[in-house]
Structure 1
Amino acid sequence: MLSLFLVSPGVAKTNELTAKDYGALPKVSMLTVSPSGERIAFRMTGENDSDIAVVMSLAEGKRLSALNLSEITPESIYFANENELILVASNVRKLWGFRGKLDLSTAYAFNVADGEVRQLLTPGDVIYAGQTGLGSIVGLSPDNKYAYMPAYVPDSKNDQSPRKSLLRVDLDSPRYPRVHFKGRSSSWDFFVDNKGEVIAHELFDNKRNLHRMLARHGDEWKEIYRKETSVPSISFMGLTPDRESLIAIANNGETNRNDFYTLSLITGEFANLGFGREDADVEYTYTSLDRRVWGVRYSGFTPSYRFFDPALDQRMQDIQAQFAGHSVWLRDWSADWEHLVVYVEGSQVAGDYYLFPKEGSPVLLASARPQISSEQIHPIATMNFKARDGLVIPTLLTLPRTRMDNLKNLPAVILPHGGPAAYDRVSFDWLAQALANRGYLVVQPQFRGSTGFGLDHHLAGSGEWGVKMQHDVTDSVDTLVRKGIIDPQRVCIAGMSYGGYAALAGGAFTPEKYRCVVSVNGVSDLEQMLRGERRDHGKNHWVVSYWEESMARGEADKDRLRTVSPARFAENFQAPVLLIHGEDDVTVPIRQSEYMHKQLKRKKKAVEFLELKDETHHLVTGTARMQTTEAIVAFIDKHLQP
């Protein structure tokens, strides 16, 4: 393979790495390729939280431009055209006239030639001041001069119920964007043709629990989909390449897996494209900037793919075969699909970016973590076990390399994932790797309520917070104890977000199982959490319905929620607790950890609380990530090391 050597691999030995080394942000991330395939862009982080976006010419092998990202937190980077780079970023801050802090996400256009940066949509400039999620582009004009972007637009300065509409934004001069398509009170999404005209309009009415899709037929709009539901059960992802149908992901009643469908804009009829599988869900669509869909990715511990083009199918299979047992992620592609950017990670790779041209040899573009060699990565294994009621629980195990010849009686850390509607994958999990580097077996059970393993597995977690979902986590400990793999006297539980809740629930409801408990940005009191969601969204909002169903199967009264809230059972804790929380977390407010800390202190329990300054729910800064990793490893070492 050829190599551009943007970042060369490291050569240090295993015992030289610290928790901080594993927890550091990737040196290179978000790598993307231009439409021609001749340029790439990526995010590069370094010492002292230095953070830049770099644009390089592949033909010349040199840097063309760079942008300092220290004032924004990028979420994604991609090319709108050869000379315009789009950066979607977020910034948590207070906004005058609004309660609390808001995650004010938006998009910026960066001109590679002149280095100018322009914010594409600015709250208060035509659009409503107090809104987030302004980074979406649903299409470009034929001349690539304008981007079509959804946002809420008030009718007047005093309008507190603005409609979601579609704005036409000039990439060169984005101030005072024009309302391209005026939405309705229940507008949700827009789909445009090759001229930028809206041809499909999605609506969801929270008060009526009504999900609809309208299609333009000449000068009129025809309803082609209608369903009464409190939470939408179908996701419209984009358009077919010919723009004659919408692409949708919905459950297939025969397989109980998420499947791939078209909805005709003319007839309103659904058709199954035959992409569905009985062993995996369709979980993601590969969609170009004009929202045309070209293929899908399937769920699983490692990803797999299928595309409309059989030749592209074969290319991806051939690429994956070169990295057997690893996760091979398709990250980007040129406009003609001649060049594919893939990211590889797993038991021997800490994250490498490759460019695979249609003809010729692949190119190693960059290593995400050059300080970590293959010898310093701890192997990842999979296993299945049966929970106490017989449900099969898929599980990932990160094995300490130093104990590979004797996987018996190991100290262990149970690491349930966040979500809970999510799942773990074969990847470079920085926390799991840091813990395995200290000799711990890291166990990641995909408890009921996880996605990726079929609708039955997901729905089995409905209303089971703190009950059957928690039993699955407990059963993972008991199974590995029975097999003699882990030492029952040396087990800790740790997690982030929902995983933080599961860790606290472990300490509250099965205190005899764990020697220590770590919760990062975790939920501790479900009643308080749901009260906040109702206040922020309104009691009729689908988000509230989702959480009520997830937490308590729709019966979300305070008595029910309190019975599974760890903060209400502080007296049960036997193990010491470490609470870590970002002060700017708007997903799970820091008051969740503050309340848990207060309750544990009141019951005279051993507890530590680390507040992460200027940090959000997702631990996006390098300083916070390394601080968190070091604190967790030191805390667990204190309680599990001989």
Structure 2
Amino acid sequence: MRFSVLPTRRPYQAAVVPAWRRTFMGAARRVAVTLLLPVFVGTPALAEPAATLSVDAIAQKYGALRSASMLEISPNGELIAFRKVQEDGDLVIVYSLTKGKMVAGANVDELNPQDLYFINDDYLVMVASERRRLMGYRGELNLSTAFALNVQSGEMEQLLRPGDNIVRGQTGLGDIAGISADHRYLYMPAFVGRSDYDQNPRRSLMRVDLHSPRRPKVVEKGDADTLDYFLDDDGKVLAQEVYDNRDDKYSIEVPDGDGWRTIFEEKTDIIARTGVGLTPDRKSLIVLARNGSSGRVAYYQMSLADGKIADEPYGRDDADIEGVITGLDGIVYGLRYSGFTPSYELFEPSKDAFLKEAIVKFDGHSVFLSSWSDNWNELVIYVEGPTTAGSYYLVRPGKPAQFLANSRANLKDEPLNPRVVYRANARDGMAIPTVLTLPLQYADNPKNMPTVLLPHGGPESYDRLGFDWLAQALATSGYLVLQPQFRGSAGFGLEHILAGRGEWGRKMQDDLTDTLDYFAKAGLADRSRVCIVGASYGGYAALMGASVTPDLYRCAVSVNGVSDLNEMLDEDRSKAGDDHWVVSYFEQSIANGQYTQEDLEAISPITHANAVKVPVLLIHGEDDEVVSIDQSDEMHDALEDADKPVTFIRLKNENHYLLQSETRTETLTHVLRFLQENLGTMVVANKD
């Protein structure tokens, strides 16, 4: 049971084939403070602030990973499985709801599982990853694979093994294209070559027997350009998705005798559509595409008989679709819509009514569909919001929601800092939705607060009203946190996204400046005590803020951020090739496709290092494969050469996403101390 987010069902690349990054990165009308006060005061989270905490205590509380996560329910609704992180180990636990006890488990300290799902009532699959070196490959590789845990015996076995009919050095080995009707066989894409180190492997389809996973059978040889497969319930391929980077050609092909027949084809340097799953009758593919008449991103049906795309898309006019709800069989059950709190539309009316009834019980919170039983009589939902930092519930028809677990047990009794959405105005009149997190310390008098401007990564992403560990930690430390959804952010319609194309370092940066100005004029933000903090794209924005608007901020923090756009694109072309579609996407996103080396220099923070006037903190994961640590290393050198105050923290054994509790806590500690030094806070100084 899965929720797919854009782009959906996209296979990972083998390390022997150039790997590609995930999308990186993340004079206003005066607003009377009294207009905002009722919104804050009326939130359930508003309680007496906790006793003043030290920097170390706050970092430990909010930097810790979720103690319970990835909660899944078995097909028969009788078992739940989840990852439990505690001081004495990292565990995957299978718990019987009927017996009220643990029935299976595994120590996964060395595996770092990223996903869990039941294949049937007897087998649980976990997808895990590790970073290590392989003989014959340069550098370290971020390798992932899948393991099956037999709930009855407690034995665990790896499913696809490098060297076992598949080439070494590839990731994404937990991807499932389909499952047999009896739930015994999994159909999993993998690169297969003539040898373990074949430089031109084919992305093939493997049939894996859960009872005996060694030596999986190749059921479809595939091609190096194959992206994904779509299957019936017997493992027969109904269609494959292909993208030829050399010719910039995207196509959908269906079996035709011993070969393939192309039912859809288009020439494009940026993949404009992708298959996300099948309709329940398996006669049509559901594809993400751009509506030619409205320009909006939408989901359509494509007939597998002739490739004809339906005239009317899925969706509604008041919200964009963020992703689809799919089963392991590849069937699409419904849609999830974007927004500060998510909403859903399931295609079957009874399922849709059941889910909506569950969500309405948690009004004002972000409710996420986590898992469901085969008959949809049991739903597991995950709830974040004013009254909880994260909780799982079991929902059954006609029964009250049953609490299952606190996701962040260390915060279950902590009062949360209230969050609200308000719209600022940019200088050209564009509305900039902004999430404000108000420190409880200022609840009685929310005026002239020390402020952190926190732009998100992506940049085609957005912030939600659920639990945000960084925003909560900053607010607990006494800072008003502003999270502007600047132009180029997703979640607010295509027009808002396209308004950001070609505006890196320009209007996207102006939106941050204008948002700060808006709330300073409202009397909320203390204009003299502002720091800009961001990660990934947000780190780029923080460095641009410090270098092109240096008088606005007292300090700047960049975590895994970009400093030199020319170098970044050169590295990407080296990895993926000049003709790769994602290179084209970033060229469009950054500079609208029309740029020179000098254009990119002008919007690169490293070019403006001499203009920086405030202390800068750079933090970067040494294993970051999305934004190279060289970006922070060279920015550090440029600032030092310009005799600017700069600190550079290297995070050992950490990647772009701060997935480890130790390094997340370390990051938060450095950020809070840095802010304390430059803005002053209400937290107690550490006694070193």
Shared fold per TM-score greater than 0.5: yes
**1:19 equivalent among 59, 69, 80:** 59
1:320 aligned partner:
359
1:74 aligned partner:
113
**2:433 equivalent among 394, 397, 400:** 394
1:266-320 deviations in Å (ceiling 9; x for gaps): 1322225663222211111110001100000001010000011112222222222
Return the letter of the residue paired with 2:50. T
**1:346 equivalent among 369, 379, 385:** 385
User: Is residue 2:634 matched to residue 1:634?
Assistant: no
Return the letter of the residue paired with 1:358. P
Cα separation, 2, equivalents of 1:453 and 1:124? 46
Against the structure 1 CA distance between its residues 546 and 223, is the aligned structure 2 distance closer, same or farther, given a 3 Å change threshold? same
Against the structure 1 CA distance between its residues 179 and 232, is the aligned structure 2 distance closer, same or farther, given a 3 Å change threshold? same
1:546 aligned partner:
585
SS, match of residue 442 in structure 1 = strand
Q: Residue 117 of structure 1: CA displacement?
A: 2.0
1:376-406 deviations in Å (ceiling 9; x for gaps): 2111100112212222211111111221232
**2:621 equivalent among 579, 582, 600:** 582
Cα separation, 1, equivalents of 2:299 and 2:212? 39
Return the letter of the residue paired with 2:325. Y
Structure 2 runs not aligned, ≥5 long: 1-46, 682-688
SS, match of residue 223 in structure 2 = coil
**1:533 equivalent among 572, 575, 587:** 572
Return the letter of the residue paired with 1:590. I
**2:175 equivalent among 107, 114, 136:** 136
2:75 aligned partner:
35
Greater RCO structure (CA 8 Å; 6+ sep) = 2
Q: Residue 541 of structure 1: CA displacement?
A: 1.1
Return the letter of the residue paired with 2:424. F
Q: Residue 142 of structure 1: CA displacement?
A: 2.7
Higher mean Cα deviation, 541-550 or 298-307? 541-550
Does the 8 Å CA contact 1:257/1:277 hold for their aligned counterparts? no
Percent sequence identity is: 49
1:379 aligned partner:
418
Q: Residue 116 of structure 1: CA displacement?
A: 2.0
Return the letter of the residue paired with 2:444. D
Cα separation, 2, equivalents of 1:587 and 1:426? 26
2:331 aligned partner:
292
Against the structure 1 CA distance between its residues 12 and 72, is the aligned structure 2 distance closer, same or farther, given a 3 Å change threshold? farther
For this pair of structures, how many residues does the alignment match? 631
Cα separation, 1, equivalents of 2:226 and 2:289? 20
Does the 8 Å CA contact 1:102/1:586 hold for their aligned counterparts? no
SS, match of residue 471 in structure 1 = helix
Cα separation, 2, equivalents of 1:393 and 1:442? 15
Cα separation, 1, equivalents of 2:49 and 2:493? 41
SS, match of residue 388 in structure 2 = coil
**2:122 equivalent among 83, 86, 97:** 83
1:265 aligned partner:
304
Return the letter of the residue paired with 2:235. G
2:190 aligned partner:
151
SS, match of residue 540 in structure 1 = coil
Q: Residue 363 of structure 1: CA displacement?
A: 0.8
Cα separation, 1, equivalents of 2:90 and 2:442? 37
Return the letter of the residue paired with 1:287. T
Does the 8 Å CA contact 1:350/1:374 hold for their aligned counterparts? no
1:45 aligned partner:
85
1:335-368 deviations in Å (ceiling 9; x for gaps): 1111111000012211010010124232100011
Q: Residue 95 of structure 1: CA displacement?
A: 2.5
Against the structure 1 CA distance between its residues 613 and 434, is the aligned structure 2 distance closer, same or farther, given a 3 Å change threshold? same
Cα separation, 2, equivalents of 1:546 and 1:359? 48
Against the structure 1 CA distance between its residues 396 and 12, is the aligned structure 2 distance closer, same or farther, given a 3 Å change threshold? closer
After superposition, residues 608-619 of structure 1 pair within 5 angstroms as 608-619=647-658
Higher mean Cα deviation, 602-611 or 155-164? 155-164
After superposition, residues 105-120 of structure 1 pair within 5 angstroms as 105-120=144-159
Against the structure 1 CA distance between its residues 526 and 109, is the aligned structure 2 distance closer, same or farther, given a 3 Å change threshold? same
2:686 aligned partner:
none
2:409 aligned partner:
370
Return the letter of the residue paired with 1:44. K
Return the letter of the residue paired with 1:266. A
Return the letter of the residue paired with 1:541. H
Higher mean Cα deviation, 92-101 or 196-205? 92-101
SS, match of residue 91 in structure 1 = strand
Cα separation, 1, equivalents of 2:225 and 2:199? 14
Against the structure 1 CA distance between its residues 173 and 553, is the aligned structure 2 distance closer, same or farther, given a 3 Å change threshold? same
1:607 aligned partner:
646
User: Is residue 2:269 matched to residue 1:233?
Assistant: no
1:210-244 deviations in Å (ceiling 9; x for gaps): 11001235666332211111111112100001111
User: Is residue 2:541 matched to residue 1:505?
Assistant: no
User: Is residue 2:223 matched to residue 1:184?
Assistant: yes
**1:436 equivalent among 475, 483, 489:** 475
Cα separation, 1, equivalents of 2:351 and 2:295? 28
Does the 8 Å CA contact 1:248/1:260 hold for their aligned counterparts? yes
Cα separation, 1, equivalents of 2:638 and 2:132? 29
Does the 8 Å CA contact 1:521/1:581 hold for their aligned counterparts? yes
1:42-99 deviations in Å (ceiling 9; x for gaps): 1111126x31111100111101112111112221111111121111122122222223
Cα separation, 1, equivalents of 2:344 and 2:328? 20
Return the letter of the residue paired with 1:14. A
Q: Residue 568 of structure 1: CA displacement?
A: 2.0
Does the 8 Å CA contact 2:301/2:313 hold for their aligned counterparts? no
Does the 8 Å CA contact 1:249/1:282 hold for their aligned counterparts? no
SS, match of residue 462 in structure 1 = coil
Against the structure 1 CA distance between its residues 193 and 12, is the aligned structure 2 distance closer, same or farther, given a 3 Å change threshold? farther
Cα separation, 2, equivalents of 1:626 and 1:515? 23
2:526 aligned partner:
487
Cα separation, 1, equivalents of 2:216 and 2:406? 40
1:496-552 deviations in Å (ceiling 9; x for gaps): 111111111111111111111111111111112111111111111112112222222
2:443 aligned partner:
404
1:5 aligned partner:
none
Cα separation, 2, equivalents of 1:117 and 1:499? 40
SS, match of residue 627 in structure 2 = coil
Does the 8 Å CA contact 1:259/1:277 hold for their aligned counterparts? no
SS, match of residue 125 in structure 2 = strand
1:8 aligned partner:
none
Return the letter of the residue paired with 1:280. A
2:6 aligned partner:
none
2:347 aligned partner:
308
Does the 8 Å CA contact 1:247/1:260 hold for their aligned counterparts? yes
Does the 8 Å CA contact 2:474/2:672 hold for their aligned counterparts? yes
Q: Residue 253 of structure 1: CA displacement?
A: 4.3
1:387-440 deviations in Å (ceiling 9; x for gaps): 122222111111112212322111110111111121111111001000000111
Structure 1 runs not aligned, ≥5 long: 1-10
1:18-60 deviations in Å (ceiling 9; x for gaps): 2320121111111111111100011111126x31111100111
Does the 8 Å CA contact 1:257/1:276 hold for their aligned counterparts? no
After superposition, residues 181-220 of structure 1 pair within 5 angstroms as 181-216=220-255
Higher mean Cα deviation, 142-151 or 218-227? 218-227
Higher mean Cα deviation, 289-298 or 365-374? 365-374
Higher mean Cα deviation, 390-399 or 246-255? 246-255
1:6 aligned partner:
none
Return the letter of the residue paired with 1:498. Y
1:114-152 deviations in Å (ceiling 9; x for gaps): 222222222333222232222101111233222111111
Cα separation, 1, equivalents of 2:167 and 2:595? 32
SS, match of residue 328 in structure 2 = coil
SS, match of residue 389 in structure 2 = coil
User: Is residue 2:334 matched to residue 1:334?
Assistant: no
